[in-house]
Protein backbone atom coordinates (compact mmCIF):
# COMPACT_ATOMS: atom_id res chain seq x y z
CA UNK A 1 0.00 0.00 0.00
CA UNK A 2 1.39 3.41 -0.96
CA UNK A 3 1.94 6.33 1.32
CA UNK A 4 -1.20 8.29 2.15
CA UNK A 5 -1.40 12.06 2.01
CA UNK A 6 -1.56 14.10 4.12
CA UNK A 7 1.26 12.32 5.92
CA UNK A 8 -0.41 12.34 9.33
CA UNK A 9 -2.97 9.83 8.04
CA UNK A 10 -0.22 7.21 8.27
CA UNK A 11 0.07 7.83 12.02
CA UNK A 12 -3.58 7.58 13.05
CA UNK A 13 -4.53 3.90 13.09
CA UNK A 14 -1.38 2.74 14.89
CA UNK A 15 -1.81 5.38 17.60
CA UNK A 16 1.46 7.13 16.74
CA UNK A 17 -0.14 10.55 16.27
CA UNK A 18 -1.81 10.37 19.69
CA UNK A 19 1.49 9.21 21.20
CA UNK A 20 3.32 12.20 19.68
CA UNK A 21 0.73 14.53 21.21
CA UNK A 22 1.19 12.90 24.61
CA UNK A 23 4.98 13.19 24.37
CA UNK A 24 4.66 16.88 23.52
CA UNK A 25 2.33 17.45 26.47
CA UNK A 26 4.83 15.83 28.81
CA UNK A 27 7.44 18.32 27.60
CA UNK A 28 5.25 21.09 29.07
CA UNK A 29 6.04 19.93 32.62
CA UNK A 30 9.42 21.66 32.28
CA UNK A 31 8.98 23.37 28.98
CA UNK A 32 11.73 22.99 26.41
CA UNK A 33 9.51 23.14 23.33
CA UNK A 34 11.42 26.05 21.81
CA UNK A 35 15.04 27.26 21.99
CA UNK A 36 14.33 29.48 25.03
CA UNK A 37 14.00 26.32 27.18
CA UNK A 38 12.23 28.25 29.96
CA UNK A 39 11.68 25.04 32.01
CA UNK A 40 8.41 26.33 33.52
CA UNK A 41 5.58 23.90 34.27
CA UNK A 42 3.01 24.96 31.71
CA UNK A 43 0.71 22.08 32.64
CA UNK A 44 0.16 23.93 35.92
CA UNK A 45 -0.40 27.21 34.12
CA UNK A 46 3.10 28.63 34.58
CA UNK A 47 4.24 30.90 31.76
CA UNK A 48 7.66 31.54 30.30
CA UNK A 49 8.85 33.66 27.37
CA UNK A 50 5.84 32.82 25.17
CA UNK A 51 3.36 33.80 27.90
CA UNK A 52 1.23 30.76 27.05
CA UNK A 53 0.27 28.30 29.77
CA UNK A 54 -1.78 25.12 29.48
CA UNK A 55 -4.02 26.20 26.60
CA UNK A 56 -3.38 27.61 23.16
CA UNK A 57 -4.72 31.09 22.52
CA UNK A 58 -6.26 31.79 19.10
CA UNK A 59 -6.71 35.29 17.70
CA UNK A 60 -8.66 34.32 14.57
CA UNK A 61 -9.15 31.67 11.92
CA UNK A 62 -10.54 31.54 8.41
CA UNK A 63 -9.82 31.22 4.70
CA UNK A 64 -6.92 33.51 3.82
CA UNK A 65 -6.06 34.67 0.30
CA UNK A 66 -2.94 36.71 1.07
CA UNK A 67 -0.58 33.75 1.39
CA UNK A 68 1.75 32.30 -1.25
CA UNK A 69 0.17 31.14 -4.51
CA UNK A 70 0.59 27.37 -3.97
CA UNK A 71 -1.16 27.64 -0.60
CA UNK A 72 -4.05 29.87 -1.65
CA UNK A 73 -5.26 28.20 -4.85
CA UNK A 74 -8.92 28.90 -5.51
CA UNK A 75 -10.39 28.42 -2.02
CA UNK A 76 -7.76 29.93 0.23
CA UNK A 77 -5.38 28.77 2.90
CA UNK A 78 -7.13 27.82 6.15
CA UNK A 79 -5.19 29.99 8.58
CA UNK A 80 -5.31 29.78 12.36
CA UNK A 81 -3.50 32.68 14.04
CA UNK A 82 -2.10 31.69 17.42
CA UNK A 83 -1.58 34.49 19.92
CA UNK A 84 1.74 35.24 21.60
CA UNK A 85 5.06 34.16 20.13
CA UNK A 86 8.53 32.92 21.08
CA UNK A 87 10.04 36.03 19.46
CA UNK A 88 9.53 39.74 20.06
CA UNK A 89 10.07 41.35 16.67
CA UNK A 90 9.83 45.09 17.24
CA UNK A 91 8.27 45.60 13.79
CA UNK A 92 5.75 42.72 13.87
CA UNK A 93 2.78 43.34 11.59
CA UNK A 94 0.60 41.37 14.02
CA UNK A 95 1.88 43.23 17.07
CA UNK A 96 -1.40 43.04 19.02
CA UNK A 97 -1.44 39.27 18.59
CA UNK A 98 2.22 38.43 19.11
CA UNK A 99 3.13 40.97 21.82
CA UNK A 100 -0.18 41.66 23.54
CA UNK A 101 -1.81 38.25 23.26
CA UNK A 102 -5.12 39.38 21.81
CA UNK A 103 -7.24 36.24 21.42
CA UNK A 104 -9.13 33.56 23.32
CA UNK A 105 -7.96 30.33 24.98
CA UNK A 106 -9.14 27.20 23.17
CA UNK A 107 -9.22 23.51 24.00
CA UNK A 108 -7.88 20.86 21.60
CA UNK A 109 -11.50 19.92 20.86
CA UNK A 110 -12.19 23.50 19.79
CA UNK A 111 -9.08 23.52 17.62
CA UNK A 112 -10.23 20.31 15.97
CA UNK A 113 -13.57 22.00 15.26
CA UNK A 114 -11.71 24.89 13.59
CA UNK A 115 -9.84 22.37 11.43
CA UNK A 116 -13.10 20.86 10.21
CA UNK A 117 -14.69 24.24 9.54
CA UNK A 118 -11.77 25.22 7.35
CA UNK A 119 -11.85 21.91 5.51
CA UNK A 120 -15.59 22.27 4.92
CA UNK A 121 -15.01 25.74 3.48
CA UNK A 122 -12.82 24.09 0.85
CA UNK A 123 -9.50 25.44 2.13
CA UNK A 124 -6.54 23.64 0.59
CA UNK A 125 -4.68 23.29 3.88
CA UNK A 126 -4.66 24.07 7.59
CA UNK A 127 -2.13 26.87 8.03
CA UNK A 128 -0.89 27.11 11.64
CA UNK A 129 0.49 30.63 12.09
CA UNK A 130 3.10 30.99 14.87
CA UNK A 131 2.75 27.42 16.19
CA UNK A 132 6.15 26.84 17.82
CA UNK A 133 4.91 27.36 21.37
CA UNK A 134 1.62 25.45 20.97
CA UNK A 135 2.79 22.20 19.39
CA UNK A 136 1.19 19.89 22.02
CA UNK A 137 -2.21 21.51 21.60
CA UNK A 138 -2.39 21.32 17.83
CA UNK A 139 -1.03 17.76 17.86
CA UNK A 140 -3.83 16.75 20.20
CA UNK A 141 -6.38 18.57 18.03
CA UNK A 142 -4.99 16.91 14.91
CA UNK A 143 -5.16 13.50 16.54
CA UNK A 144 -8.85 14.10 17.23
CA UNK A 145 -9.63 15.54 13.81
CA UNK A 146 -7.66 13.02 11.75
CA UNK A 147 -9.51 10.11 13.35
CA UNK A 148 -12.80 11.76 12.39
CA UNK A 149 -12.13 12.61 8.75
CA UNK A 150 -9.69 15.50 8.38
CA UNK A 151 -7.89 15.13 5.05
CA UNK A 152 -6.03 18.36 4.24
CA UNK A 153 -2.29 19.05 4.65
CA UNK A 154 -0.90 20.86 7.68
CA UNK A 155 1.24 23.96 7.07
CA UNK A 156 3.67 24.84 9.86
CA UNK A 157 4.01 28.63 9.42
CA UNK A 158 6.83 29.69 11.72
CA UNK A 159 9.43 32.36 12.46
CA UNK A 160 12.18 29.77 12.07
CA UNK A 161 13.08 29.97 15.77
CA UNK A 162 12.32 26.30 16.36
CA UNK A 163 13.83 23.48 18.39
CA UNK A 164 15.05 20.55 16.29
CA UNK A 165 13.87 18.15 19.02
CA UNK A 166 10.35 19.55 18.76
CA UNK A 167 10.46 19.46 14.97
CA UNK A 168 11.33 15.76 15.15
CA UNK A 169 7.98 15.20 16.89
CA UNK A 170 6.39 16.59 13.73
CA UNK A 171 8.20 14.24 11.34
CA UNK A 172 5.48 12.53 9.33
CA UNK A 173 2.87 14.96 10.72
CA UNK A 174 3.57 18.21 8.88
CA UNK A 175 3.54 18.08 5.08
CA UNK A 176 4.43 21.72 4.39
CA UNK A 177 6.92 23.71 6.42
CA UNK A 178 6.87 27.47 5.87
CA UNK A 179 9.59 29.07 8.00
CA UNK A 180 10.95 32.58 7.88
CA UNK A 181 14.68 33.11 7.64
CA UNK A 182 14.87 36.63 9.04
CA UNK A 183 18.52 37.49 9.70
CA UNK A 184 22.07 36.30 9.26
CA UNK A 185 23.64 38.50 11.95
CA UNK A 186 22.89 37.25 15.50
CA UNK A 187 23.28 40.75 16.93
CA UNK A 188 20.56 42.06 14.64
CA UNK A 189 18.31 39.19 15.70
CA UNK A 190 18.96 40.00 19.34
CA UNK A 191 18.27 43.69 18.86
CA UNK A 192 15.21 43.45 16.63
CA UNK A 193 13.60 40.19 17.77
CA UNK A 194 14.93 39.78 21.33
CA UNK A 195 16.22 36.24 20.81
CA UNK A 196 19.69 34.80 21.12
CA UNK A 197 21.39 33.16 18.16
CA UNK A 198 18.49 33.41 15.74
CA UNK A 199 20.61 32.56 12.65
CA UNK A 200 22.15 29.44 14.17
CA UNK A 201 18.79 28.16 15.37
CA UNK A 202 17.11 28.89 12.03
CA UNK A 203 19.85 27.15 10.05
CA UNK A 204 19.44 23.95 12.06
CA UNK A 205 15.65 24.17 11.91
CA UNK A 206 15.54 24.60 8.12
CA UNK A 207 17.87 21.66 7.62
CA UNK A 208 15.60 19.46 9.75
CA UNK A 209 12.47 20.66 7.97
CA UNK A 210 13.98 19.93 4.57
CA UNK A 211 15.17 16.52 5.75
CA UNK A 212 11.59 15.66 6.61
CA UNK A 213 9.70 16.99 3.59
CA UNK A 214 12.18 17.90 0.84
CA UNK A 215 11.63 20.54 -1.84
CA UNK A 216 8.13 21.90 -2.37
CA UNK A 217 5.91 19.64 -4.49
CA UNK A 218 3.08 21.36 -6.37
CA UNK A 219 0.28 19.33 -7.98
CA UNK A 220 -1.27 19.76 -11.42
CA UNK A 221 -3.72 22.32 -10.01
CA UNK A 222 -0.90 24.51 -8.70
CA UNK A 223 -1.50 23.53 -5.06
CA UNK A 224 1.33 22.67 -2.68
CA UNK A 225 1.02 19.20 -1.23
CA UNK A 226 4.35 18.70 0.51
CA UNK A 227 7.73 20.32 1.03
CA UNK A 228 9.61 23.38 2.24
CA UNK A 229 8.60 26.96 1.43
CA UNK A 230 10.85 29.68 2.85
CA UNK A 231 9.93 33.31 3.50
CA UNK A 232 12.46 36.12 3.65
CA UNK A 233 11.29 39.63 4.46
CA UNK A 234 13.50 42.34 2.98
CA UNK A 235 14.25 44.97 5.63
CA UNK A 236 15.45 48.56 5.20
CA UNK A 237 19.17 49.14 5.19
CA UNK A 238 20.06 45.54 4.39
CA UNK A 239 19.27 44.37 7.93
CA UNK A 240 18.03 41.00 6.70
CA UNK A 241 21.37 40.13 5.01
CA UNK A 242 19.63 38.63 1.99
CA UNK A 243 22.89 37.72 0.26
CA UNK A 244 24.08 35.49 3.11
CA UNK A 245 20.65 34.02 3.83
CA UNK A 246 19.97 33.02 0.23
CA UNK A 247 23.49 31.67 -0.24
CA UNK A 248 22.94 29.37 2.75
CA UNK A 249 19.59 28.19 1.40
CA UNK A 250 21.03 27.50 -2.04
CA UNK A 251 24.17 25.71 -0.84
CA UNK A 252 23.08 23.99 2.38
CA UNK A 253 19.38 23.32 1.77
CA UNK A 254 18.63 23.17 -1.97
CA UNK A 255 18.79 25.38 -5.04
CA UNK A 256 15.28 24.10 -5.74
CA UNK A 257 13.92 25.70 -2.58
CA UNK A 258 10.68 27.58 -3.19
CA UNK A 259 11.20 31.02 -1.67
CA UNK A 260 9.15 34.16 -1.19
CA UNK A 261 11.36 37.25 -1.16
CA UNK A 262 8.89 39.67 0.42
CA UNK A 263 8.66 43.39 -0.26
CA UNK A 264 5.76 44.29 2.02
CA UNK A 265 7.73 45.58 5.00
CA UNK A 266 6.11 48.58 6.65
CA UNK A 267 6.83 50.18 10.03
CA UNK A 268 4.60 48.56 12.68
CA UNK A 269 4.73 48.07 16.42
CA UNK A 270 7.80 49.77 17.84
CA UNK A 271 9.64 50.04 14.53
CA UNK A 272 9.77 53.84 14.70
CA UNK A 273 12.24 53.51 17.58
CA UNK A 274 14.70 51.48 15.49
CA UNK A 275 15.88 53.39 12.40
CA UNK A 276 16.03 52.48 9.53
CA UNK A 277 12.98 50.36 10.40
CA UNK A 278 11.00 53.59 10.56
CA UNK A 279 10.63 53.58 6.76
CA UNK A 280 9.54 51.19 4.02
CA UNK A 281 12.10 49.55 1.78
CA UNK A 282 12.94 51.22 -1.52
CA UNK A 283 12.42 49.60 -4.95
CA UNK A 284 16.18 49.48 -5.28
CA UNK A 285 16.56 47.57 -2.01
CA UNK A 286 14.01 45.01 -3.12
CA UNK A 287 15.58 44.59 -6.54
CA UNK A 288 18.98 44.08 -4.94
CA UNK A 289 17.53 41.34 -2.73
CA UNK A 290 16.06 39.57 -5.77
CA UNK A 291 19.35 39.87 -7.62
CA UNK A 292 21.25 38.43 -4.64
CA UNK A 293 18.86 35.47 -4.39
CA UNK A 294 19.23 34.74 -8.10
CA UNK A 295 23.02 35.08 -7.88
CA UNK A 296 22.98 32.50 -5.08
CA UNK A 297 21.35 30.04 -7.51
CA UNK A 298 17.74 30.16 -6.32
CA UNK A 299 15.10 30.21 -9.04
CA UNK A 300 11.72 29.13 -7.60
CA UNK A 301 10.25 32.47 -6.53
CA UNK A 302 6.71 33.11 -5.36
CA UNK A 303 5.03 35.79 -7.44
CA UNK A 304 2.12 36.57 -5.13
pLDDT, tens only, 81-117 = 999 999 999 999 999 999 999 999 999 999 999 999 9
For 156-199, how does the pLDDT look when each residue is reduced to its tens digit (9 = 90+)?
Answer: 999 999 999 999 999 999 999 999 999 999 999 999 999 989 99
Q: Between vectors from CA 40 to CA 38 and to CA 41, what angle results, nearest 5°?
A: 150
How many Å apart are CA 290 and CA 241, to the nearest integer? 12
Residue 72 binned pLDDT confidence (cut-offs 50, 70, 90): very high
Among the four given CATH numbers 3.40.190.10, 3.40.50.720, 3.80.30.10, 3.40.50.150, the one describing domain 7-43+134-301: 3.80.30.10
**Dihedral sign of CA atoms 181, 106, 155, 19 in order:** positive
Residue 4 binned pLDDT confidence (cut-offs 50, 70, 90): low
161, 131 in Cβ contact below 8 A? no
pLDDT reading at 5 higher than 90: no
Residue 2 binned pLDDT confidence (cut-offs 50, 70, 90): very low
Structural domain boundaries in the chain: 7-43+134-301
Q: What is the pLDDT of residue 257?
A: 98
Residue 177 main-chain phi, psi, to 5 deg? -100, 135
Q: What is the pLDDT of residue 303?
A: 78
For 244-269, how does the pLDDT look when each residue is reduced to its tens digit (9 = 90+)?
Answer: 999 999 999 999 999 999 999 999 99
Share the mean pLDDT of the chain.
97
The candidate with the shortest Cα–Cα distance to 20, out of 174, 130, 151, 126, is 174
- Residue 121: count of CB within 10 angstroms of its CB: 12
Q: Which helix (H) or strand (E) holds 285?
A: helix 283-296
Amino acid sequence: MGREYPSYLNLVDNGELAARAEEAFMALRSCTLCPHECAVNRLKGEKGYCKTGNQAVVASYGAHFGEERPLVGTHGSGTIFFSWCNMRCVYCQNYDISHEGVGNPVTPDMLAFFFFELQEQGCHNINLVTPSHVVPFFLKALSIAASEGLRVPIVYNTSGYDSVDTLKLLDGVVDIYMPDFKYWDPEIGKRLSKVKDYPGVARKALKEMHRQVGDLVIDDDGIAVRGLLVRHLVLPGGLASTKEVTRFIATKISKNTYINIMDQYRPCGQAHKYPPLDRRITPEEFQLALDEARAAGLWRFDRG
